[in-house]
Amino acid sequence: MRASFSHVFNVPALVTEVPMRGCSKKGVVETKFGSLMNFTKGGVQSISVNPKHYVFSNVFEVASQSKPYERVAVGRNLNYVLEAVRSEGTSPWYAANHDEAAIVMDGEVEVHLIQPDDFLLPVGKEGAVALAREPKGQRMGWMKIHRGHMALLPKGAAYQFHGAAPGVLLIQSIKGECTVEKWAKICQTR
Amino acid sequence: MSLAPLTQVRNKAVNPPANKLVSKLVNKQGYQSFQIGQFKFERDEYFAHILYPGNRHIVPIEAFLRALMRDIAWGFFYGTVNFDRVFGTINHYGTVEMFVGLNNTAYRSVHKEYVETFSSKDLKRVFEAVIEDWTNAEFDPFGAPAETGNAYGLKQGDNLKAVQRQRLSAKRMVGLPGDLKMRTEEDGFPVNRAFADVPQDKPELHPAPGFEGQVYAVNLFAHLSRSDVTWNPSVVSVVRDSLLCATTEEFVLPVIHGNDRVEWLVQFSDEIIWDVEDKITGMPACKVIMKPGDVAAMPADIRHCGYSPKRSMLLMWENNDGTLPHRHASGELAPYPVEF
Ligand SMILES: [Fe+2]
């Protein structure tokens, strides 16, 4: 007869039901995502380094402390950036000379797109530019995206976000005039 | 601790002629042995034996195949792929160094390291031959331990379908017409057991006529929930050299990855714990605990290994600029990305 571990050591078994290999049932699984209202931060536990070098932040915490549509850099690799954005209400119209991508980390947002015919961004201009008003041009359409969705913000198009309730976007872009860098405020420093 | 300069202690060999790359000998366990340059690879029921001038290094076969699979699939990746604390490869983008003891303080202090340089093409061909022959029918080196069978024992069939998976890289964004396809049920990508609760809905798209490919969004988390591989980033969005590489992780990263540039991590779901060490000496640097929404940079002078207790979704953000390794190595760029 085989004794179980828990029997031998007289402690409660950790696993009472062994799931079948490779097929846990729906309802048993819990995939944990974060949100503006509910996030827990990890962190850098230093042994021999300066934690600042790991530029550690959390997009939900950053967005919880941001003004609507403030494009706060949470990652920078030379000129490339990842921006954490609190989507709430209606954003300015933006345009960029290169593709950008927006991943919804929390909430739901509409993206409206226009192919502008009343302006051209200067050649070589990098990053998103906030336009003073809605551009004239052909309406390209719109999309409604929520958590887990990734939208293309195509090169040359003007785009505007609208979120009925606060949400969080992560935008892949290049550092530009809208990019806000406040690393000391958002990152683990010790 | 400082180490002897590399140039004084490396044993460099010239590339072998191409016809000497692979020798087809089958041992009594049924496995072929392979040779490239002065390196010989043999396997038995439990171990990979790496023979090189002067000695032999041994790696348990499951760990070896998992690491080898990543090295092949990533095209030797960015920087160093340490299979363990002794053996690995360094990518020089066109050529690859294969080494024993190079990133190991003890080996280096007594000049016991061994390094050879190969053309990437030649080494990839040998590595592919090794993984095809040494992977038995029931083992998938990309699979989480709970999802795959036994890597050990006598030669028993093969699993070419698993080890010949194509590398997935979007040119602009996953799902766009003509670009990398989204994973679907019909194409043989069921939702993974660990992501059974991840919503599978699609974005609501209202393109005006003619703008179908531009008013575009995908369900990235659904795409990830259907990933049949672990620790295998694939490019899902591209802005010039900025690559968003999304991946699902479970159990242990099968290699200790040594950076040759800064890479960034964004935890999408669940939790990964990273052990970070000095890239060359292996001295412990820190642990990085990453929970949903956490963002962290991995500096250019570290190596790291990750642990994911539950299958998790991770975004690795890479800069594909080919000048970076040299600019970091020369000191032009600091190892960390932001000064504040
Ligand atoms: Fe890495």
Query: Based on the domain organization, do B150 and B266 belong to the same domain?
Result: no
In a domain, B21, yes or no: yes
Pick the residue from chain B with its C-alpha nearest to A24: B193
Q: What is the mean pLDDT of residues B69-90?
A: 97
d(CA B276, CA B241) in angstroms, rounded, equals: 25
Domain boundaries, position B234: 193-329
In angstroms, the Cα distances linking A80 to A84, A98, B326 are: 13, 12, 19
Looking at beta carbons, which residues of chain A come within 8 Å of B287?
44-45, 47
Cα A146 to Cα A40: distance, rounded to the nearest angstrom: 21
Last residue of a domain, one of B163, B178, B206: B163
Could you give all domains of chain A from N- to C-terminal order, each with its CATH number? 55-186 (2.60.120.10)
A–B CB contacts, 8 A cutoff, strictly below: 242
Confidence of residue B38 (pLDDT cuts 50, 70, 90): very high
Q: Is the dihedral of CA B298, B267, B248, B220 positive or negative?
A: negative
Instruction: Give the nearest partner residue to A144 out of B203, B237, B292, using CB atoms.
Output: B203
Q: Kindly report the pTM of this predicted structure.
A: 0.91
- Give the mean model confidence (pLDDT) for residues B216-238: 98
Distance B272 CA to ligand 1 centre (A): 13
Q: Three-state SS for B158?
A: coil
Tell me what pLDDT residue B1 has. Answer: 39
Same domain? B49 vs B100: yes
Which pLDDT tens digit goes with each residue over B151-180? 999 999 999 999 999 888 999 999 999 999
Set of chain B residues whose Cβ sits within 8 Å of the Cβ of A74: 295
Domain count, chain B: 2
Closest chain B residue to A112, measured at CA: B215
pLDDT higher than 90, residue B203: yes
Take residue A70 and report the two structure tokens written for it: 């403030």
pLDDT of B8 reads 34
Can you read off the two tokens belonging to residue A129?
A: 């530019």
Residues B154 and B201 in one domain: no
Contact B287 A173 (CB under 8 A): no
What integer pLDDT is reported at residue A22 of this predicted model? 43
Same domain, B147 and B244: no
Q: Which residue has the tokens 């719109």?
A: A142
Task: Say if residue B204 is in the same domain as residue B143.
Answer: no
Q: Are residues B151 and B207 in the same domain?
A: no
Domain finish residue from B163, B184, B203: B163
Inter-chain residue contact A143 with B216, CB threshold 8 Å: yes
d(CA A178, nearest CA chain B) in Å: 17
pLDDT of residue B54: 87
Identity of the residue in B194, B220, B317 whose CB atom sits nearest the CB atom of A75: B317
Chain A closest CA to B2's CA: distance in Å?
A: 16
Write the residue in B217, B287, B338 that is nearest to A152 by C-beta. Answer: B217
Q: How far is the CA of B248 from the centre of ligand 1 (A)?
A: 14
- Please give the share of chain B, as a percent, with pLDDT higher than 90: 91
Q: Are residues B141 and B11 in the same domain?
A: yes
What local confidence, expressed as pLDDT, does residue A17 receive? 40
Q: Does residue B60 register a pLDDT over 90?
A: yes
Residue of B nearest to A189 (CA): B340
CA of B105 to the centre of ligand 1 (A): 21
Distance from the alpha carbon of residue A170 to the mean position of ligand 1, in angstroms: 21
Check CB contact under 8 Å for A51 and B286: yes
Pair (B70, B201) in one structural domain:
no
Q: Does A124 touch chain B (CB under 8 A)?
A: no
Backbone angles phi, psi at A74, to 5 degrees: -110, -10
Residues B25 and B150 in one domain: yes
Record the tokens describing residue A113, joined without a space: 């797109």
Say what the pLDDT of residue A6 is.
37
Residue B338 lies in a domain: no
Report residues near ion ligand 1: CB below 5 Å.
Answer: B 257
B310: which chain A residues are within 8 Å (Cβ-Cβ)? 31
Of A75, A73, A124, nearest to A96 by C-alpha is A124
- Residue B159 sits in the same domain as residue B206: no
Q: Provide, as residue numbers in chain B, all residues whose Cβ is less than 8 Å from the Cβ of A140.
A: 207-208, 211, 214-215
State what percent of residues in chain B have pLDDT above 70: 93
Instruction: Using an 8 Å CB-CB cutoff, list chain A residues near B244.
Output: 101, 172
Contact A107, A168 (CB under 8 A): yes
In a domain, B278, yes or no: yes
Please report the pLDDT score of residue B23 as a whole number.
Answer: 53
Contact A102, A150 (CB under 8 A): yes
Q: Where are the beta strands (DSSP E) in chain B?
A: 25-26, 32-36, 39-43, 47-52, 55-60, 80-82, 87-91, 95-100, 114-119, 204-207, 217-219, 234-239, 242-252, 256-258, 263-267, 272-278, 284-290, 294-298, 302-319
Contact assignment for B293 to A58 by CB distance below 8 Å: yes
Ligand 1: centre distance to CA B259 (Å): 6
Q: Does B24 have pLDDT greater than 70?
A: no
Residue B219 has a pLDDT of: 98
Q: How confident is the model at residue B5 (pLDDT cuts 50, 70, 90)?
A: very low
Using pLDDT thresholds of 50, 70 and 90, give the confidence band for residue B22: low
* B241 and B309 housed in the same domain: yes
Mutation target vs B (from A80, A105, A188; most B CBs, 10 A cutoff): A80
Residue B69 falls within a domain, yes or no?
Answer: yes
What's the gap in Å between B257 CA and the centre of ligand 1? 5
Residues B159 and B199 in one domain: no
Residue B235, domain CATH? 2.60.120.10
pLDDT at residue number B3: 44
Classify residue B298: in a domain, yes or no: yes
* Model pLDDT, residue A19: 42
The A residues from 31 to 90 touching B (CB cutoff 8 Å) are 31-34, 39-49, 51-61, 74-78, 80, 82, 84
pLDDT tens per residue, chain A (190 residues)?
343 343 344 444 444 343 444 444 545 899 999 999 999 999 999 999 999 999 999 999 999 999 999 999 999 999 999 999 999 999 999 999 999 999 999 999 999 999 999 888 999 999 999 999 999 999 999 999 999 999 999 999 999 999 999 999 999 999 999 999 999 999 999 9
Residue B192 has pLDDT above 60, yes or no: yes
